[in-house]
Amino acid sequence: MENKHKTINIEEEEFRQYLKSTKGGDSDAQNNLGRCYSNGIGITKDEVKAFKWYLKSAEGGNLKGQFNIGNCNEHGIRTVKDEGKAFKWYLKSAKGGDSDAQFNIGRFYYNGIGITKDAEKH
């Protein structure tokens, strides 16, 4: 007997679950949806949509969303490269306790990226 059940793609199901969760305003799901679009997980890669979801997450106070928007601004990913904006988003995330953002804040101070170089703050 032939198996007529559709094979479930785990990545596509993951994407669908994140999308469903975003409807309730879940900022973690919004950030994860951005990650799916950014990396082509369960959906075609789309940096424009990734940026949109990262921003929505960041504006909702999500630390990883703030970090990801900082990264987009630092590297000019689907936005104009703006190291000053990157610093501000990294700082929000760092103040919330995100260790990756804290590292980047130190790196920005040490190298004078987007702000005045300050060897004492790195």
Assess contact for 67 and 100: CB atoms under 8 A: yes
Topology classification of domain 18-111: 1.25.40
CA distances (Å), 74 to each of 39, 69, 80, 88, 118, in order?
18, 8, 9, 11, 19
Residues in the chain: 122
Assess contact for 50 and 78: CB atoms under 8 A: yes
Q: Token pair for residue 82?
A: 């703006």
pLDDT digits (tens, 9 = 90+) for 95-122: 999 999 999 999 999 999 988 876 676 5
Between 4 and 94, residue with greater pLDDT: 94
Say how far apart CA 96 and CA 53 lie, in whole Å.
Answer: 20
Q: How is the chain split into domains, by residue range? A: 18-111
pTM of the model: 0.87
The H or E element spanning position 39 is helix 27-39
pLDDT digits (tens, 9 = 90+) for 10-23: 999 999 999 999 99
